[in-house]
Amino acid sequence: MSRSLEEDSMVDGPLISPDVLHSAIRREFQTVPTPCHAGLLSLLHVVFVVLSMCVGVMCVLKFGQEEVCTSILHNVRGDSVILFGKVCLWVLVLLFSGCVQHHHNRARSRGYLRFYRQTQGLKHLPLTVYSAGNVLLLVLLAAQLPLKWHTYMLLSILGLELLVALPCLLYYTVKVMQFNRERAAPDVSQEEHSHNFSVTNLSTETGFREGSSLEEVVEKQADLIEYLKQHNTLLSKRLLNLTAQH
């Protein structure tokens, strides 16, 4: 009897205004700031390759301006300077990858699961390209070619790395800028996404599946479950706070 009275008192109590509740739980869209970082990294890479070409031609192959090279580099070899710069560039790429991973994880925790999955391989591609370039440089050093051919191969590897890495960074920048410009709601908040998820999964993701398709479905469901857990916890806390205020 006492329990029913308590329930009646809770039902008859003051209700929270839907506008107040909606404004309290609504999240403002937060942009992913990594396009600026990707643009800066691309610019630094272009500058590094241009300077490496100048050092290789003038200071290693000694096509003029030897006095300038000696006054700037002193007793340091030109190819060593290029390799030191390559190591510094790789460290910057490593820091960039960590920064990208951090911001993408935050976007994932806010419910943007499709964006996270679409850029999951793309965000690791620059580090893979630069690491592959480092491997080629190590092979070149181990080959111990004559100085002339060594310099030509070194500059060729740097140029090839630029031709591969720069489009990857530009494509990543475009994808993130499109995401920021759309300012879409989280995936689970979109009615069309929920409808497509329920209909499509019932028709195509039930029964026998290929291994890769099954892994993709499990990954999507795991991301969705993890987000819903965090979202429900946050909504419960905010609802309790609003109930206490009213």
The tens place of each residue's pLDDT in the chain, 246 residues long, gives 444 444 444 444 454 554 544 444 445 678 899 999 999 999 999 999 999 998 888 877 777 666 777 777 777 787 888 999 999 999 999 999 999 999 998 888 887 888 888 888 888 999 999 999 999 999 999 988 898 898 899 999 999 999 999 999 999 999 999 999 988 877 766 544 454 445 445 444 444 444 456 666 666 666 666 666 666 766 677 777 777 776
- Give the type of residue at 153: M
Distances (CA, A) of 198 to 12, 98, 126, 186, 224: 36, 35, 35, 17, 13
Query: Both tokens of residue 116?
Result: 């996270």
Placement of tokens 């241009």 in the chain: 50
Query: DSSP letter at 164?
Result: H
Question: How many other C-beta atoms are found inside a 10 Å radius of the C-beta of residue 244?
Answer: 7
pTM listed for this prediction: 0.70
Q: Which of 159, 148, 156, 141 lies closest to 63, judged by CA?
A: 148
Contacts of 200 (CB under 8 A, 6+ apart): none
CA distance 178 to 32: 11
Contact between residue 105 and residue 177 where contact means Cβ atoms under 8 Å apart: no
Query: DSSP letter at 76?
Result: S
Classify 227 in phi/psi space as left (phi over 0), alpha (psi -120 to 50) or beta.
alpha
Q: What are phi and psi of 30, to 5 degrees?
A: -115, 120
Largest interatomic CA distance in the chain? 100
